[in-house]
Structure 1
Amino acid sequence: MIIRTGHLDDPQVIALLDLHAREMSDHSPPGTCHFLDLSGLKTPDITFLSAWDGNALLGVGALKQLDPVTGEVKSMRASAAARGRGVGFAILDHIVGLARDRGYTALKLETGTGPLFEAAHALYRRYGFAPCPPFAGYVETDFNRFYALDLPAPQFQ
């Protein structure tokens, strides 16, 4: 698996993001869906990542800069064929590495609830994310869940 920056113009990426948008909209109450569409992922504060096995897209994810020391995990999605292969963990690990390299002290994310979101909750908890209050203008609902991961400053010797 190779994780690359960009590739938002690739037809496989566009199709996976379209599927992600449809499923998020179909499984979220009105006003609670906060995925980024293609144009939202092309802004300067977003680093978009795509995971590949040769020419086959495995998954996507993004890191959004909220402020100089805080990032947000966005648009995490594995392709149907890649589920259960550790793609989500690999992309998340890459995002955490980018955040640390940038000197961020925290990573945050918002997700939904229900069967479609259970695997995401398990992934984030397994990685060490913990529930947190809403952030960055998000509003608390019965549907949305918020997580944060503290990133300690590196210890130099």
Structure 2
Amino acid sequence: MNNMMFLGAKRCGKSTIIDALRTLLSEKGYRVALLNKHDSIEEVIAQSQCEYDCILLEGAELADMRIADMVDASVVLVGDIERGGVFAVLYGTYALLKGQRISGFLVNKFRGDGKILEPGLLFLEEKTGVPFVGVVPYVSARDEFIEIFRMSVKLDVISKILGVDL
């Protein structure tokens, strides 16, 4: 399970979440900027808030939830379906965190017809009251990811979570 954190930002620019994804997937990448150009995570985020309408922060496991707390970010839990037990992982993580900061669920690396997941997705939404934001199919080529993300994720739900227009 990976968690994605979305942080609403000041409206300083015309960028969208898709532009933020392009930046994160660029060769320079956010990790290089974080390690080489900035003193702290807070500084990186403060600078980014003036460049983007919203920011996508990617975290691994629960360790990065403290960063979500630090920057007051909304969190979308991402479940990797290839590892198995995706609904148990998403619900279990939600329960362990007592729902704190969890604003959405997303399933990643799915192969096949997404309709087969609908009963589990509906159960998860009903049990938690947290919206499901999409199923991202498995993509082998990195260049295809942005367009696949745009087609697979409910950007209107993410926009509502963030309180910004995407």
TM-score, L = length of structure 1: 0.35
Higher relative contact order structure (alpha carbons within 8 Å, sequence separation ≥ 6)? 2
Query: Whose strand proportion is higher, 1 or 2?
Result: 1
Q: Which has the higher helix share?
A: 2
TM-score by length of 2: 0.33
